[in-house]
Amino acid sequence: MAHIIVVTSGKGGVGKTTTSASLATGLALRGFSVAVLDFDVGLRNLDLIMGCERRVVYDFVNVIQGDATLNQALIRDKRVDKLYILAASQTKDKDALTPEGVERVLAELSDRVDYIICDSPAGIEHGAMMAMYFADEAIVVTNPEVSSVRDSDRVLGLLQSKTRKAREGGSVREHLLLTRYDPIRVERGEMLSVEDVQEILAIPLLGVIPESKSVLQASNSGEPVILDAGSDAGQAYADAVARLLGEEREHRFLKPVKKGLFSRLFGG
């Protein structure tokens, strides 16, 4: 039985797809077999972030509607072993993701991989509800910014009431992933701190991903940022993967890097 993890947020543009791509890749780098699924029907982007956009032949909706088998639709990653991508449909209606269809695809995948990562669309409409419904765990991606925190709280409410786990009397295990964190602005009092966000949302912290140029560079080239092992964001994602697997890792990149006299004088 695979472990199903939804990456969700409510608000758009906070880093759900970047996170899905990096966590899936990170888990596969650790030797697990992983499938990462794009639930954003009509606005698929996971394929671009994973760098396999030219290899999409069949998509999630094709599999649900029986036009293709799962084997035909799963795209095998060329960099990391045992990592598979299932693209969202770009043309079909978003209601094509039927609960029965999604359940069937997840059940079939469940026998074949260790982890299923569900990349949720923004909002709390049908696609987002389908992405979270069957989840065992949820990673709530949040920016240190008022609208994102409010939306995350709303999504937490849905995770606690509208998921299969909740309906069966259990609960989805929740994790907070704070992204685009800028320690310099936090120190100046211009940005909510990780403690502030944790106090409001009151869920365990999986990781803090610093604001980093490497994220855009990674998406430009279609490489999940976790593969850029020298970058701060890549390392922060690797730490998050380790914590997801139950390892203890101290949180990094929470404080501004102190510049030395030399770089302060000459700009570095």
Partner 1 sequence: MGIFNYFRSKKTSAQVAKNRLQIIVAHERAENSGYDFLPQLRREILCVVQKYVSVELDHIRIDVSKEGNCEVLEFNVTLPERR
The residues binding partner 1 (CB under 8 A) are 145-146, 149-150, 153-154, 157, 160-162, 186-193, 196, 199-200
Nearest Cα to Cα of residue 128 among 148, 165, 154, 109:
154
Q: Which CB sits closer to partner 1, 97 or 191? A: 191
Greatest alpha-carbon pair distance for the chain in Å reads: 64
Q: Which CB sits closer to partner 1, 108 or 199? A: 199
Q: Which CB sits closer to partner 1, 79 or 162? A: 162
Q: Which CB sits closer to partner 1, 161 or 220? A: 161
Q: Which CB sits closer to partner 1, 144 or 224? A: 144
How far apart CA 233 and CA 213 sit, in angstroms, is: 9
HSE-CB for 243 with a 13 A CA cutoff = 20
HSE-CB for 1 with a 13 A CA cutoff = 5
- CA dihedral (181, 187, 188, 192) positive or negative: positive
Q: Which CB sits closer to partner 1, 117 or 191? A: 191
Least separation in angstroms between residue 17's CB and partner 1 is 25
Residue 25 φ then ψ, to 5°: -65, -45
DSSP-assigned letters across all residues of 103-119: HHHHHHHHTT-SEEEEE
Least separation in angstroms between residue 108's CB and partner 1 is 31
How far apart CA 11 and CA 9 sit, in angstroms, is: 5
Least separation in angstroms between residue 150's CB and partner 1 is 6
83-86 and 75-76 as β-strands: parallel, antiparallel, unpaired? Answer: antiparallel
Least separation in angstroms between residue 51's CB and partner 1 is 36
Least separation in angstroms between residue 153's CB and partner 1 is 5
Least separation in angstroms between residue 11's CB and partner 1 is 13
